[in-house]
């Protein structure tokens, strides 16, 4: 009798701990810290939300599209400021919504690949953290014609080799990243093309690749979020401008 009651108490305690942890993750990974005007249509950028994506359409288009996979559990709207800035430079910017905020679910479904259906456009695929891992898998599985790959805050690819890719690749990573360890980023260099551009951000961490709370396991950043975002956006825009 006592043992059965104890088992129930322990089970309930673990359930409460699990729910509390998930609630903490939801709150911590929720988009915050930016002006909501980036989600509203303006004179230079139109913002349109679809069932499977959030799209930033520049008034003056450059014929190139930036397609982005969010990090696992991170609120996709946390990447809105970055994508709005990219759209201001003339590139369509699309944040792909993933089921349950998990990049590994739904990346290869028709609702996702239809984004790449316009053959008149050049598509640059990108992703942060687990989203970066899924971006490499998307290309590895040849799910669409991609003109360039931009990886952010990720050690991937890890389980397969993309060194023979013929498209331009750039990897941006923070030297204070406690989740995507810079040492592992360096050790996996041989799995990307020899001409891959590596952009280490001094003082940059994992959480500041977007606008959300502090991510579990990360290190404290040595620069502001706005400065890290400025470095990210300027490198993405230059990369897309220079590659056709």
The pLDDT tens digits for 33-58 are 999 999 999 999 999 999 899 999 99
CATH fold of 31-242: Rossmann fold (3.40.50)
The pLDDT tens digits of the residues spanning 160-196 come to: 999 999 999 999 999 999 999 999 999 999 999 999 9
- pLDDT bin (cut points 50, 70, 90) of residue 11 is very low
Q: What is the DSSP string of 76-142?
A: GGGGHHHHHHHHHTT-EEEEEP-GGG-TTSSTTSHHHHGGG--TTSEEEEEEETHHHHHHHHHHHTT
C-alpha dihedral, 166 to 168 to 169 to 172, nearest 10°: 170
The pLDDT tens digits of the residues spanning 53-89 come to: 999 999 987 789 999 999 989 999 999 999 999 999 9
Q: How far apart are CA 194 and CA 178, in angstroms?
A: 26
Q: Which three-class secondary structure state does DSSP give residue 16? A: helix
The pLDDT tens digits of the residues spanning 103-154 come to: 677 788 767 777 898 888 999 999 999 999 999 999 999 999 999 999 999 9
The pLDDT tens digits of the residues spanning 191-217 come to: 999 999 999 999 999 999 999 998 889
Helices (H) and strands (E) in the chain, counts: 6, 8
Q: Are 157 and 133 in contact (CB under 8 A)?
A: yes
Per-residue pLDDT for 17 more than 50?
Answer: no
Per-residue pLDDT for 4 more than 60?
Answer: no
What is the average pLDDT value for the chain, to the nearest integer? Answer: 88
Per-residue pLDDT for 20 more than 80?
Answer: no
Percent of the chain with pLDDT over 70: 87
Sign of the alpha-carbon torsion through 207, 208, 211, 214: positive
Q: How far apart are CA 59 and CA 107, in angstroms?
A: 28
> Is residue 205 left, alpha or beta, with left meaning phi > 0 and alpha meaning psi from -120 to 50?
beta
Tally of CA atoms within 13 A in the half-sphere of 129 that contains its CB: 23
Q: What is the pTM of this model?
A: 0.89
For the chain, how many residues are written? 244
The pLDDT tens digits of the residues spanning 95-117 come to: 999 887 776 777 887 677 778 98
**Alpha carbon distances (Å) from 19 to 12, 13, 15, 65, 166:** 11, 10, 6, 39, 46
């Amino acid at each position: 009798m006592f043992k059965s009651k104890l088992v129930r108490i322990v089970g309930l305690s673990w359930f409460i701990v699990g729910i509390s942890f998930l609630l903490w993750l939801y709150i911590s990974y929720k988009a915050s810290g930016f002006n909501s005007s980036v989600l509203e249509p303006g004179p230079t950028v139109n913002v349109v939300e679809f069932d499977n994506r959030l799209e930033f359409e520049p008034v003056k288009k450059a014929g190139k599209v930036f397609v982005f996979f969010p990090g696992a559990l991170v609120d996709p709207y946390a990447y809105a400021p970055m994508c709005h800035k990219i759209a201001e430079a003339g590139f369509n910017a699309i944040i792909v919504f993933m089921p349950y905020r998990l990049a590994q679910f739904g990346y290869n479904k028709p609702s996702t690949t239809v984004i790449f259906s316009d053959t008149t456009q050049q598509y640059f695929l990108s992703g942060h953290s687990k989203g970066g891992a899924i971006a490499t898998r998307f290309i590895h599985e040849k799910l669409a014609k991609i003109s360039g790959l931009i990886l952010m805050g990720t050690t991937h690819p890890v389980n397969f080799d993309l060194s023979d890719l013929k498209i331009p690749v750039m990897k941006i990573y923070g030297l204070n990243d406690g989740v995507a360890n810079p040492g592992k980023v360096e050790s996996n260099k041989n799995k990307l093309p020899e001409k891959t551009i590596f952009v280490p951000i001094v003082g940059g961490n994992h959480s500041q690749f977007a606008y959300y709370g502090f991510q579990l396991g990360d290190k404290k950043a040595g620069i502001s979020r706005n400065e890290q975002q400025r470095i990210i956006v300027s490198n993405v825009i230059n990369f897309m401008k220079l590659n056709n």
